[in-house]
Amino acid sequence: MRGGGDDLTPRSPHFDLQPVAEGVHVAIATDSGFGLCNSGIVDLGDAALVFDSMLTPQAGADLRRAAEELTGHPVAYVVNSHYHGDHVRGNSAFPSVHIVSTRKVRELIEERAVKMLESDRREVPAELEKLDRGGLVRAPRDRVVFEGWFRGILATPLGTVVPAPDLLVDGELLLRGPKREVHVRSFGGGHSPSDVLAFLPDDRVAFLGDLLAVGFHPGVTDGDLAKWREILDSVRRLGPERLLPGHGPLSGPSEIATLQEYLTTLQDLASAARRAGRTVEEIRATPIPEPFAAWSFGAFFPANLLRAYEQSA
């Protein structure tokens, strides 16, 4: 849908578009919309590429329209950064488009996408009740972001098909058009069992999926903290100047160190808990350290710390 006035930018309730370079835009998820994760839109010169398709078919459809209006080309590629629902369920709005990711992401989507939507929809009513009672909310934005997330799940019909990747990356895949090239890369799994990023060397822009979160606690429970920190070193070596996190604003390279510090803090707290012989309940009750206390999704912190504890053995 289009906004009024003289603004010709395609508009959606699910994201705000922001130009990054000529032919490169980011779609930053709105707090209340059904997008939840951020996406990238790239004009290759004869086709458009979309990085991450968002939480819902509705957001995916708006993303597709935005990409086609902004670039003037059909979408030829959708890159999935990893298999989590908020990054792939919008694939359903891109039938007959190449979905690009690793073999592992393909397997995880094929095995889990339908079941995960079913279990998410079963769990949402209880989560909404929790939210009503003031649970889950640790930072000012949490209420509206969680509510958008949960309502987005309810708005996704059961049986929604999530097309799985059909163009597989093993290390690096170069997608080249007349205007620019996009390096789709995987350094293995850090945030999830297999993570993919896109780097635009001419523009020095990186789309990182959930390998980076800015102002949000990342989800760590499906990840490997030590490998994640190493992957972030590899990202830094690519030399990106502007980085799109899975959640949070378009940022600079200093946010890589901030997230590494978050992961290191979890590891240090976990090691200290192990040395002190703390119980799971005591670990769960650990306060969020000050530098991260104001971040959204603080409700993730106890489980994140327990994941670090498991991995500290």
Interface mask toward Zn ion for 151-190; x: CB under 5 A? ----------------------------------------
Piece of 50-58, 101-109, 142-150, 210-218 that binds Zn ion (CB under 5 A): 210-218
- For Zn ion, the closer of residues 177 and 209 by Cβ is 209
- For Zn ion, the closer of residues 84 and 217 by Cβ is 84
What burial class does residue 146 get, using C-beta atoms within 10 Å of its C-beta: 0-12 exposed, 13-18 middle, 19+ buried? buried
* Smallest distance from Zn ion to CB 109, Å: 13
Interface mask toward Zn ion for 292-311; x: CB under 5 A? --------------------
- For Zn ion, the closer of residues 65 and 141 by Cβ is 141
Q: Is 52 in the site for Zn ion (CB under 5 A)?
A: no
* Smallest distance from Zn ion to CB 27, Å: 17
User: From the list 14, 25, 64, 84, which residue makes contact with Zn ion (rule: CB under 5 A)?
Assistant: 84
# chain residues binding Zn ion, by CB under 5 A = 2
* Smallest distance from Zn ion to CB 169, Å: 17
Piece of 7-15, 78-86, 121-129, 232-240 that binds Zn ion (CB under 5 A): 78-86
SS (H, E, C) the chain: CECCCCCCCECCCCEEEEEEECCEEEEEECCCCCCCCCEEEEECCCCEEEECCCCCHHHHHHHHHHHHHHHCCCEEEEECCCCCHHHHHHHHHCCCCEEEECHHHHHHHHHHHHHHHHHHHHHHHHHHHHHHCCCCCCCCCHHHHHHHHHHHHHCCCCCCCCCCCCEECCCEEEEECCCCEEEEECCCCCCCCCCCEEEECCCCEEECHHHCECCECCCCCCCCHHHHHHHHHHHHHHCCCEEECCECCCECCHHHHHHHHHHHHHHHHHHHHHHCCCCHHHHHCCCCCHHHCCCECHHHHHHHHHHHHHHCC
- For Zn ion, the closer of residues 23 and 248 by Cβ is 248
Piece of 124-132, 209-217, 235-243, 274-282 that binds Zn ion (CB under 5 A): 209-217
Piece of 11-19, 60-68, 81-89, 113-121 that binds Zn ion (CB under 5 A): 81-89
Phi and psi based region of residue 235 (left: phi greater than 0; alpha: psi -120 to 50; beta: remaining): alpha
Beta bridge partners of 42: 24, 49
Q: Is 210 in the site for Zn ion (CB under 5 A)?
A: yes
* Smallest distance from Zn ion to CB 191, Å: 6
- For Zn ion, the closer of residues 104 and 180 by Cβ is 104
State which of positions 239-268 bind Zn ion (CB under 5 A): none
- For Zn ion, the closer of residues 177 and 223 by Cβ is 223
Piece of 7-15, 80-88, 138-146, 304-312 that binds Zn ion (CB under 5 A): 80-88
- For Zn ion, the closer of residues 33 and 246 by Cβ is 246
- For Zn ion, the closer of residues 48 and 88 by Cβ is 88
**24 three-class SS:** strand
d(CA 273, CA 65): 50
Beta bridge partners of 78: 50, 99
**Residue numbers of the site for Zn ion (CB under 5 A)?**
84, 210
